[in-house]
Amino acid sequence: MFTSSSFDKTLKIWDTNVLQPADTFNFEGTVYSHHMSPVATNHTLIAVGTKNPDVQLCDLKSGSCSHILQGHKQEVLAVSWSPHDEYVLATASADSRVKLWDVRSSSGCLITLDQHNGEKSQASSEAANTAHDGRVNGLCYTSDGLHLLTIGTDHRMRLWNSFTGENTLVSVQGSLVMLVLALNFFVFKSPSPSR
């Protein structure tokens, strides 16, 4: 089995034996991102980010979208499950925000990441709890799940403590961001070398 999503507003679950879609989920808007938990043993949810500000959770067992996570104000551009906790999901949006969710909780959002760690938030309600000064169009966890890496259209990449939500203040900016982002998927997503 593998999954694919597209600007055709679908998420497809493919049967690798016959190279045909086994199931198709249809959405109202463009699908920007999807991710299935790499460690889940108690659920078969695929998180989907679309042009809609709600995050959709598609259940492979039931074949339907079983949950909706509400909290973003604009389209959801990236989603990523924690490699440490099967119920924790990170989402990034065009609203400049990154949210961490516990999908078991009815209140949903655990924390909204704040690039200023709460210091500037009192001065401007518009800048409160924003991860970047622009759209957040990428995120991924480190392989150990301890940190979350985000990238935004503000030409910055930030590293966050994934348990506290604290900005570690390690930030890369400028044209190096694209190179580092490309390398990060290789470094953080590749399996650990065996010794």
Q: Tell me the residue range of the domain where 138 lies.
A: 2-189
pLDDT at 38: 92
In angstroms, the CA 130 to CA 190 distance is 29
Longest Cα separation, the chain: 58
The answer to whether residue 169 is domain-embedded is yes
pLDDT at 171: 65
∠ CA 45-97-68, nearest 5°, is 30
The answer to whether residue 34 is domain-embedded is yes
Q: If you average pLDDT over residues 143-156, what whole number do you get?
A: 93
Percent of the chain topping pLDDT 90: 72
pLDDT of residue 36 exceeding 70, the answer is yes
pLDDT of residue 190 exceeding 60, the answer is no
| 189: three-class secondary structure by DSSP | helix
Higher-confidence residue: 123 or 108?
108
pLDDT at 119: 80
pLDDT of residue 152 exceeding 80, the answer is yes
The answer to whether residue 39 is domain-embedded is yes
pLDDT at 166: 95
Query: 156 and 132 in contact (C-beta within 8 Å)?
Result: yes
pLDDT at 186: 44
pLDDT digit string (tens) for 99-121? 999 999 877 799 999 999 988 65
Helix ranges restricted to H, 5-151: none
pLDDT of residue 19 exceeding 60, the answer is yes
Lookup result for tokens 């679950």 = 13
CA-closest candidate to residue 46, choices 18, 69, 29: 69
159: domain CATH number is: 2.130.10.10
The answer to whether residue 168 is domain-embedded is yes
pLDDT at 194: 45
pLDDT digit string (tens) for 60-84? 999 988 899 999 999 999 999 999 9
Taking the model in full, what pTM does it have?
Answer: 0.85
The answer to whether residue 195 is domain-embedded is no
Percent of the chain topping pLDDT 70: 83
Q: If you average pLDDT over residues 146-155, what whole number do you get?
A: 93
pLDDT of residue 174 exceeding 80, the answer is no
Helix ranges restricted to H, 27-155: none
The answer to whether residue 194 is domain-embedded is no
Mean pLDDT, all residues of the chain? 86
The answer to whether residue 36 is domain-embedded is yes
CA-closest candidate to residue 75, choices 101, 97, 42, 102: 97
pLDDT at 192: 43
In angstroms, the CA 139 to CA 149 distance is 5
The answer to whether residue 72 is domain-embedded is yes
Query: 79 and 48 in contact (C-beta within 8 Å)?
Result: yes
Query: 168 and 147 in contact (C-beta within 8 Å)?
Result: yes
Lookup result for tokens 């959405």 = 27
Number of domains in the chain: 1
